[in-house]
Amino acid sequence: MQVYKFGGAAIATPQSARSLLPIIQNCNSPLVLVVSALGKTTNALEAIVADACAGYKEAAHQKAAALEKAHLEYAAQLLQDKFLTAAKEDLAEHFTELTWAVDDAEESRYNFWYDQMVSLGELFSTRIFAQLLLQEGLSAVWLDARGLLRTDDEWRDAQVDWDATLANMQRQILPLLEKENIVLTQGFIGANADNASTTLGREGSDYSAALVAAMLGAENLTIWKDVPGLKNADPREFADTVLIDKISYREVIEMAYYGAQVIHPKTIKPLQNAGIPLYVRCFLAPAQPGTLITAEENLSPQQSYPPLITSKKNQVLIQATTRDFSFITEHNLANIYRVFASLNYRINLLQQTATSFVACVDYREDKLQLLIAALEGEYILRRNEKAELLTIRHPQDSEAKKLVAGREILLQQKTRNSVQIITRNEA
C-alpha cells in the first residue's frame, strides 16, 4: 500500500487535476490519496472568516457564494452527467455548512470559527476529485478526514490523539483497501472529541499524509509537488540552488523546522518512527525520480550535502531581562518556558546571558501581546520586529557573509554543523 499526497497546486485547475490521473493509474498497489484544497481556497475562506467574525455577515455570504460558484464551474469542466450531479449535491451540503457557520460566527471565538470554516476547503476539492476518479473508472471511496483524525481542541494548531486516530484509520481504511483500489481523504483537517472541526496549522496536509502512512504501515509516502524535488534552498529567494537526490530524515527536519516550505515541519517524525521512506516528486514530470528522504543508515557513508539554507521571515526578537539583576538560571528559565508553553508559542531560537533571556519567535500579534502581559511584571522586555532568521546547515566559509551582506545582524549562533543569524534589512 502506498500513500500519495497532492497539494493545492496539483489540482489548481481542471486541466492539472486531470493530468494526475495517469500518476494514479500507474500505481500498482492499493493507494490512499490525501488531497488539499484548490489553490487559493484557504485564503478565500480566511477572508470569509474575518468578515463573519467582524459582523460583516452579508459580505461573508457574498464571498461564500462566489467561492461556491467557482467550485461549481471547476466541477463542470471536469465532470459530466451523474458524476457532475453527485458533485453538486455533495458541494451543496458543505456550502450549507459554511452558510450556517457564517451566521453563527462571533469575534470572541475567532479561532474556533476559523477551523469550522477553513476546514471545508479540503472537503470541497475532494468531493469533486472523488467524482473524477469514479468517472474515469477508478474504484475509489471518499472518506471525511474529520471522522478519522482525532485531535484536541487547540484551534488552528490541533494536536493529534495518536491512539484514537490509529484505531479510526485501521478500522475504516484497511477494510476498504481490501475491496477498493483507492481511498481518498483530506489533509490538514480533523475533529475533536465533540466532532467540532479542527485544523493542523497551515500546510498541514503533508503531516496528515505522514500520519496515514505511518498508521497504516505504508510502503512509502510520495508528496507530489510542482518542483523537481528538494533543493538546498528556496530558488525563489536564493541563487544557484541544487537538487538533492537523497537526504536523511534528520537533515529535512532541521530544514523544515527553520522555514523550508517544501515539507511541513511535523511530517518527518511519524515517518522516521515507522521507517517509511518519503519521496518528493514533481507531478509535472512524473518520470523524474525526485528526492528520497530516508534514514541515515540507508544513505552511503560518503553522503555529503551542499549548504542547506532556510529562512523564516516576519520574526520577532524578544529580550527579557530580570528587574532585580537576579540570574537567568533554572528558576527564571522554568518561569519563562512555562509562559511560552501555556501560549503554545514556539521558540525558533534562544540565547541567554547572566541576566537576560533572548527568544526569536514568529510574529503572532495575539500571542505576542499575551506573552508580554505575562512577563512584563518580572522582566524588562525589549523587542525587534521585522526580523529574519537565517539558518545554514553545513555552511561554507563565505556563505554566511554573502547572505547577510547589507543587513543588520541582531544575533548570531554557530555550532559544529550550523550557523544561525537573525538579521534586519537596513534598507
Contact 187, 5 (CB under 8 A): yes
Q: Both 321 and 209 in a single domain?
A: no
Asked whether the beta carbons of 229 and 280 are under 8 A apart, the reply is yes
Question: Would you state the pLDDT for residue 369?
Answer: 95
Confidence at residue 265, expressed as pLDDT on a 0 to 100 scale = 79
Q: Count other C-beta atoms under 10 Å from residue 323's C-beta.
A: 12
Task: Indicate if 75 and 192 belong to the same structural domain.
Answer: yes
Position 335 in a domain: yes
Residues 6, 143 within the same domain: yes
58 and 204 together in one domain: yes
Give ∠ CA 2-252-418 in degrees, rounded to 5: 170
Which CATH number fits the domain that encloses residue 334?
Answer: 3.30.2130.10
Count of CB atoms situated within 10 Å of the CB of 174: 15
Beta bridge partners of 420: 391, 413
Number of domains present in the structure of the chain: 2
What's the CA gap between 191 and 146, in Å, rounded?
5
Question: Residue 103 falls within a domain, yes or no?
Answer: yes
Judge contact between 164 and 150, C-beta under 8 A. Answer: yes
Q: Considering the domain boundaries, does residue 159 fall inside one?
A: yes
Residue 306 has phi, psi (to 5 degrees) of -75, 170
The domain boundary, picked from 167, 193, 226, lies at 226
Domain span at residue 160 reads: 2-226
CB 198 within 8 A of CB 191: yes
55 lies in the same domain as 176: yes
30 and 165 within one domain: yes
Same domain? 34 vs 142: yes
Look at residues 37, 34, 48 and name the one whose alpha carbon lies nearest to residue 6: 34
In a domain, 202, yes or no: yes
Domain stop point among 226, 253, 281: 226
Residues 212 and 330 in one domain: no
Same domain, 103 and 12: yes
* Final residue in a domain of this structure, among 177, 205, 226: 226
Q: What is the per-residue pLDDT for 427? A: 52
Is 293 inside a domain boundary? no
Q: Are residues 204 and 316 in the same domain?
A: no
- pLDDT at 405 (0 to 100): 85
Looking at residue 426, its pLDDT comes to 60
Take residue 296 and report the three cell numbers written for it. 541515515
Q: Are residues 185 and 323 in the same domain?
A: no
75/213 same-domain check: yes
Does residue 302 lie within any of the structural domains? Answer: no
CATH number for the domain that contains residue 84: 3.40.1160.10
pLDDT of residue 73: 98
Specify whether the CB–CB gap between 107 and 160 falls below 8 A: no
- pLDDT tens, N- to C-terminus, the chain (427 residues): 999 999 999 999 999 999 999 999 999 899 999 999 998 999 999 999 999 999 999 999 999 999 999 999 999 999 999 999 999 999 999 999 999 999 999 999 999 999 999 999 999 999 999 999 999 999 999 999 999 999 999 999 999 999 999 999 999 999 999 998 899 999 999 999 999 999 998 779 999 999 999 999 999 999 999 999 999 999 988 988 999 999 999 999 999 989 888 788 799 999 999 999 999 999 999 999 999 999 988 898 778 899 999 999 999 999 999 999 889 988 899 999 999 999 999 999 999 999 999 999 999 999 999 999 999 999 999 999 999 999 999 998 777 888 888 889 999 999 989 999 999 876 5
CA-based nearest residue to 66, from 44, 49, 85, 50: 44
Cell of 320: 527579557
Instruction: Encode the chain in three state secondary structure.
Output: CEEEEECHHHHCCHHHHHHCHHHHHCCCCCEEEEECCCCCHHHHHHHHHHHHHCCCHHHHHHHHHHHHHHHHHHHHHHCCHHHHHHHHHHHHHHHHHHHHHHHHCCHHHHHHHHHHHHCHHHHHHHHHHHHHHHHCCCCEEECCHHHCCEECCCCCCCCECHHHHHHHHHHHHHHHHHHCCEEEEECCEEECCCCCEEECCCCCHHHHHHHHHHHHCCCEEEEEECCCCCECCCCCCCCCCCECCEEEHHHHHHHHHCCCCCCCCCCHHHHHHHCCCEEEEECCCCCCCCEEEECHHHCCCCCCCCCEEEEEEEEEEEEEEECCCCCCCHHHHHHHHHHHHHCCCCEEEEEECCCEEEEEEECCHHHHHHHHHHHCCCEEEEEEEEEEEEEEECCCCCHHHHHCCCEEEEEEEECCCEEEEEEEECC
Joined together, the cell numbers standing for residue 367 give 500571542
At 176 the pLDDT is 97
Is 163 part of any domain? yes
Q: Is residue 373 part of a domain?
A: yes
Q: What is the identity of the amino acid at 177? A: L
